[in-house]
Amino acid sequence: MRYDNELDGVLQQIIDRWRIPGMAVGMVEGTEVVYAKGFGVQSLETQVPVALDSAFSTASVSKCFVATAVVQLAERGRIDLDAPLVQYLPYFRMDDDRHRQITIRQMLSHTSGMPDIHESEYDDMVAHPESDDGSAERFVRGLSDSQLIANPGERFSYSNIAYNALGDLIAKVSNMPFERYMRDQILIPSGMEHSGFFFADLPSSKLAVPHLRTPVMTVNPLQQPYHRADAPSSFLYATILDMCHWGITCLHRGTYLGQSILSEASYDTMWTPVAEWGGSRPAIYEDMGLGWTLGHFKGTSAVSHGGMGFGWSAFLLILPERNRAAAILCNEESFARNRTVRAVADTLVDEMPQANTVSWMVPISRALDEGGIQAAYACYEEIKASGDNEYYLDEDDLLNLVIQLTSAKKLDLAMDVLGLNIHAYPQYADSYLRLARIYLQKGDDV
Domains along the sequence of the chain with CATH: 1-353 (3.40.710.10), 358-441 (1.25.40)
Nearest alpha carbon to residue 316 among 353, 71, 325 = 325
Instruction: Give me the torsion for CA of 397, 399, 402, 403, rounded to 10°.
Output: -90
Q: Which value, to the nearest 10 degrees, does the dihedral of the CA atoms of residues 131, 134, 136, 140 take? A: -140
d(CA 366, CA 362): 6
Residue 443 confidence (pLDDT): 80
pLDDT of 430 reads 92
Round to the nearest angstrom and report the end-to-end CA distance of the chain: 57
From residue 316, give the alpha-carbon distance in Å to each of 113, 242, 281, 378, 400.
26, 12, 17, 38, 21
Q: Are 272 and 262 in contact (CB under 8 A)?
A: no
Are 248 and 260 in contact, with CB atoms under 8 Å apart?
no
Give the strand pairing for 22-29 and 32-40. antiparallel
Instruction: State the greatest distance between any 2 C-alpha atoms of the chain, in Å, as a whole number.
Output: 63
Q: What b/e readout covers 370-386, taking b as 16+ CB neighbours within 10 angstroms?
A: eeebeebbebbeebeee
Could you read off the pLDDT tens digit of each residue along the chain, which spans 446 residues? 788 889 999 999 999 999 999 999 999 999 999 999 999 999 999 999 999 999 999 999 999 999 999 999 999 999 999 999 999 999 999 999 999 999 999 999 999 999 998 877 777 777 788 888 999 999 999 999 999 999 999 999 999 999 999 999 999 999 999 999 999 999 999 999 999 999 888 888 999 999 999 898 888 866 777 889 999 999 999 999 999 999 999 999 999 999 999 999 999 999 999 999 987 788 999 999 999 999 999 999 999 999 998 899 999 999 999 999 999 999 998 888 889 999 999 999 999 999 888 999 999 999 999 999 999 999 999 999 987 778 999 888 899 899 889 888 899 999 999 999 999 999 999 999 999 989 988 886 55
pLDDT at 35 (0 to 100): 97
Asked whether the beta carbons of 253 and 292 are under 8 A apart, the reply is no
Closest CA to 285 of 303, 300, 270: 303
| Global pTM value | 0.94
- Closest by CA to 325, choosing from 298, 345, 352, 295, is 345
Q: DSSP letter string over 29-65? A: ETTEEEEEEEEEBS-TTT-PBP-TT-BEE-BTTHHHH
Instruction: Quote the DSSP letter at residue 18.
Output: H
Say which amino acid occupies 243.
M
Nearest to 3 by CA among 253, 348, 306, 259: 348
Strand partners, 314: 307, 329
- Partners of residue 103 on adjacent β-strands: 84
Q: Which string of DSSP letters, residue by residue, matches 286-321?
A: SEE-SSSEEEEETTEEEEEEEEEETTEEEEEEEEGG
Cis peptide before 426 (omega within 30 of 0): no
* Half-sphere exposure in the Cβ direction for 196 (13 Å, CA): 18
The SS3 call for residue 11 is helix
**pLDDT at 257 (0 to 100):** 95
Burial 15-35 (b: 16+ CB within 10 A, else e): bebbbbbbbbbbbbbeeebeb
CB atoms within 10 A of CB 359: 24
**Nearest one of 64, 46, 387 to 207, comparing CA atoms:** 46
